[in-house]
Amino acid sequence: MEYGILEDLMGYALRRAQIRIYQDFLDALDAWSITPPRFSAMIIIDGNAQMKLTELAAAMGIARSGAVEVVNSLEKLGFVSRSDSAVDKRAHALALTSAGKQALAGIIQAIQAHDARISARLTSAEQAELRRLLGLLG
């Protein structure tokens, strides 16, 4: 197959890799109905007690409306709850439920196995170099 200029484009190479990685991620976490944004939100909420929705949106680098969607989906799964904030009466505090904490333990194990699979062909030094190089992009 001839790909022409596509073979020379960094963005194309990154996108092809991202598609393969994303599919493996979805397959690994299918049992929990977890997507990358949901996983990120769970990790951030778990590590930051009484977090507000606007803080979650900022931490994830997404719009507040996007954070609302993510939190709503996690709430439907029974993984996240909202309660009145002790700090700001106008806001809700986010927390993982006990089911969310239990699920997160299994999700983290699945993510670690996924990460090992996708990076198995790279040495530790190559993995570190790839992270460094990716940090230079954009």
Q: What is the CATH number of the domain that holds 128?
A: 1.10.10.10
Range of the domain at 68: 4-136
All residues at 6 or more sequence positions from 55 whose CB lies less than 8 Å from its CB, including other chains: 48
**Helix (H), strand (E) at residue 134:** helix 124-136
Return the pLDDT at 49: 86
d(CA 60, CA 67): 8
> Quick one: three-class SS letters along 27-96?
HHCHHHCCCHHHHHHHHHHHHCCCECHHHHHHHHCCCHHHHHHHHHHHHHCCCEEEEECCCCCCCEEEEE
Return the pLDDT at 138: 73
The pLDDT tens digits of the residues spanning 79-115 come to 999 987 777 777 789 999 999 999 999 999 999 999 9
The tally of domains found in the chain comes to 1
The pLDDT tens digits of the residues spanning 30-69 come to 999 999 999 999 999 999 988 999 999 999 999 999 999 9
d(CA 12, CA 26): 21
Segment 113-132 shows an average pLDDT of: 96
